[in-house]
């Protein structure tokens, strides 16, 4: 019988969840709530007595915490993001499958995460929520692998390289005949934040206006942004070429230095959607279905299948 579980992918930029056909995505933004809201209705997640706003509520409040710092994972703020995942899915108990960057994936680090989750006192919708069910931790990128197998089950016996382009990192892993190859994991801080920041800076140089990360991603897709009804175009050829060269070099080098020759290369992650039409890799890669959600969906497939 399939296991009731939820797949959770807490990324530096966005958090994705999957529980069967129910999928969600929200900004990995979290901020401490200093006082009770008196005008707008908010729904804080309380962790060990600290009140946090998460997602769009945190973005509206401002003063969001740095989710890229090394101490974020296992912190109360990180547990609050996990609590928000459970809240929006109405998931008080059951199995949770989480992914961590492959460069940090090890037994000791996984145990640290488990301890932080199980020892935390969490209140969701003003009710106590002790997260005590089974929690399984697997390397990021593995979700993309399982999502790919859903559509291509015959590839299970092949050597499959996974390229996961995220907001902050580029994670690359290898599966050989269904087994995770520990020695072939690699994480590089060359996520799409680099080209997004370049676009923000280029826009300010030309138009003397500050734009958000979301606006910059819009420029990558359409070449312009509209501000107060006025369209502002921006030529980002130089920024695209500079980032594409770096990204192509890292990916091509990884694929060429693997201990076994990959039969299939699969591209996924939220960043893959942003750069898909911008880069031209030497090696042909398949784009996984729903690339931004693929890890979360794959985690759910892994957990619900009782693997």
Same domain, 83 and 135: yes
Question: Which helix or strand (DSSP H or E) is residue 96 part of?
Answer: strand 95-100
Residue 294 lies in a domain: no
Which of 124, 128, 132 is CA-nearest to residue 93?
A: 132
Same domain, 133 and 165: no
140-153 CB burial, b ≥16 within 10 A, e <16: bbbbbbbbbbeeee
Same domain, 132 and 9: yes
> What are the pLDDT digits (tens) for 215-264?
998 998 889 999 889 999 999 999 988 998 899 899 999 999 999 999 99
Same domain, 129 and 175: no
CATH code at 18?
A: 3.30.420.40
Same domain, 11 and 116: yes
Same domain, 119 and 18: yes
Same domain, 118 and 172: no
Domain range for 74 is 5-100+106-139
Enter the tokens of residue 253. Answer: 């080098």
Residue 187 lies in a domain: yes
pLDDT of residue 197: 94
> What are the pLDDT digits (tens) for 23-79?
999 999 999 987 665 556 778 999 999 999 999 999 888 888 888 887 888 899 999
Residue 279 lies in a domain: yes
Same domain, 169 and 264: yes
Whether 246 contacts 239, CB under 8 Å: no
Same domain, 81 and 167: no
Same domain, 115 and 209: no
Span 254-278, average pLDDT: 89
- Is the pLDDT at 95 greater than 50? The verdict is yes
Residue 84 lies in a domain: yes
Residue 298 lies in a domain: no
Residue 144 lies in a domain: no
Which of 251, 105, 261 is CA-nearest to residue 182?
A: 105
Same domain, 217 and 118: no
Residue 307 lies in a domain: no
> What are the pLDDT digits (tens) for 134-149?
899 999 999 999 999 9
């Amino acid at each position: 019988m399939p296991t009731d579980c939820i797949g959770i992918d807490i990324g530096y930029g966005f958090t994705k969840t999957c529980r069967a056909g129910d999928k969600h995505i929200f900004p990995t933004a979290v901020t401490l709530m200093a006082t009770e809201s008196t005008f707008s209705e908010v729904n804080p997640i309380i962790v060990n007595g600290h009140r946090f706003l998460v997602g769009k509520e945190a973005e509206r409040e401002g003063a969001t915490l740095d989710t890229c710092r090394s101490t974020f994972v296992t912190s109360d703020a990180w547990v609050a993001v996990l609590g928000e995942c459970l809240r929006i899915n109405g998931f008080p108990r059951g199995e949770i499958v989480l992914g961590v960057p492959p460069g940090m994936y090890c037994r000791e680090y996984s145990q640290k995460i488990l301890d932080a989750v199980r020892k935390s006192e969490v209140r969701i919708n003003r009710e106590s929520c002790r997260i005590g069910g089974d929690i399984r931790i697997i390397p990021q990128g593995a979700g993309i692998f399982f999502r790919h197998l859903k559509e291509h089950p015959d590839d299970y016996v092949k050597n499959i390289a996974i390229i996961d382009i995220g907001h902050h990192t580029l994670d690359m892993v290898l599966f050989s005949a269904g087994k995770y190859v520990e020695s072939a994991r690699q994480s590089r801080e060359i996520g799409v934040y680099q080209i997004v920041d370049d676009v923000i800076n280029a826009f300010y140089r030309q138009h003397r206006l500050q734009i958000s990360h979301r606006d910059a991603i819009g420029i990558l897709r359409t070449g312009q942004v509209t501000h107060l009804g006025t369209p502002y175009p921006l030529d980002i050829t130089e920024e695209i070429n500079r980032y594409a060269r770096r990204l192509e070099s890292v990916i091509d080098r990884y694929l060429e230095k693997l201990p076994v020759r990959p039969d299939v290369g699969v591209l996924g992650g939220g960043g893959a959607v942003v750069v898909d039409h911008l880069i031209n890799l030497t090696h042909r890669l398949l784009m996984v279905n729903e690339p931004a959600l693929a890890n979360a969906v794959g985690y759910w497939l892994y957990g619900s299948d009782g693997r």
